[in-house]
Structure 1
């Protein structure tokens, strides 16, 4: 039987086991036919393994020693048990690594679930965008389609909430749209078509022109309220009104006489045109209205266009409007210089100021 050899000799340390005790990684216990080898208490100091203050290391570090033999020189016969002591730091790191792995697994699972939800959300957003784009495209295509122009209708004979168009963007704003008062009484004096005269007037009294539907509608309601409450008239005075916005506002319309004279169609500029200049849109809207009236035989083909100041002593329709309409084709210079009075051929001079 070979004899175990562990020889450690320190030249600088009186206790030959001190370095080995502080750095030993394992203890060896051999058995040979039931008899322990090197099991004598004197072989190894007891405090190497039993003293808890001494922590074995995974590395044997021998310094200032000589004649040290560990390994192949040691031989055992019989079963050998090796006990390994792990450093607490190594064990802690191993445990932390296991925890991190579990966390990574959980995070990966959560990420996969969130990824699926995100994909569904992105898909939903894409579908909504595509649907919105299709709707916008259809709306654009429909708006670009130009339908054949239909007849221009007045009164309540067209769909509520829409405005007939005289052409070039000149809308006709009906009584319901500008908010005509329900206090207006039924008109009883009809107009016989085609009408021979067109009479041009203005509001006057330092009235500022209105530049949009909202302000012009307010002005129309104010004029109507004044006519009914202050002048004791059944309704607003004129057949049609033209705003600075280029739109035409329906007063008494085509079928009933105005307050100025029967056998005339009165068109009133909304503002004081002794002080203000009429807009190009306003002048054009008036001409479009009269062209529509001729085509639909509301007025005569050779109608006579006159200003109110040609029929009586007044500043209406204002010098600035009068300067323009004098150049229009149907202007009739009655009551000017040596020309006969307006309406004399119809017996009208005495009824120009009739209150109806």
Structure 2
């Protein structure tokens, strides 16, 4: 190849070197060598690029697998944390439920203790009132005893102390029985006792009339008023009323209340239905509701004395003495009017 280059470089013709020409046909020219080298370099670059791509793919696959493993580990950890948080929440709920139950139990015990204390206070108050009543009676008796004793002593002095020919002492002669201490209080007490006795007699008379009315027709009104109410009530209401009365007499107050409440709802203008409903509620110890039923009966018929009387009894049991006395006065006023 060097010889060919030399001949060509010095300008010798080609026929002076045939052997060299043949050799030139066998040996590649420099341009061909460069082209082959470039192809070899390209192949090497392609191989290197493929290796780089394979390495990159392998690295990406490894990174992907590692990321997948990390994600799985993170998911497993998150799952475990979720389960643990759920368990903690359940435990806290159970603990809170137990604390709430304990708190409710303590509140119930506290309310029960308060009710016991209130009952104890009520008993003490009632005992104190009874004691005051006894003391009042004893005071009245003591005032009467002192007045009678002073009157007896004064009469004895007028009968026994004499001066001269039977003339009394001037101090005794000027004695005025009305000036005795305690006589005015005695008269006031006697008037109050008489008034209370009169009220008691009238109440006993009312109870006797109510009992006789119940014995005659199992109603709460006189015959004339009962017939007027019966004309205003439907057969269904009358049937409910009779069933409720029968259950009430049998001591089945709950069932009687159900019938009588239906009757009162069906006939709100009937005083008798509200009256019997109040009786059932009173037997059940529901005094406030019984008082409301008696008020409804009075609103339907203000002349119904039995409703006023039972309202007074309920007010007395509730400690509302002013309303009780007012109800009794209503009954006495109605009885005092000419029929």
- TM-score, structure 2 length as denominator? 0.27
| Higher-Rg member (1/2) | 2
The structure in which a higher percent of residues are strand is: 1
Between 1 and 2, higher relative CO (CA 8 Å, sep ≥ 6) is seen in 1
The structure in which a higher percent of residues are helix is: 2
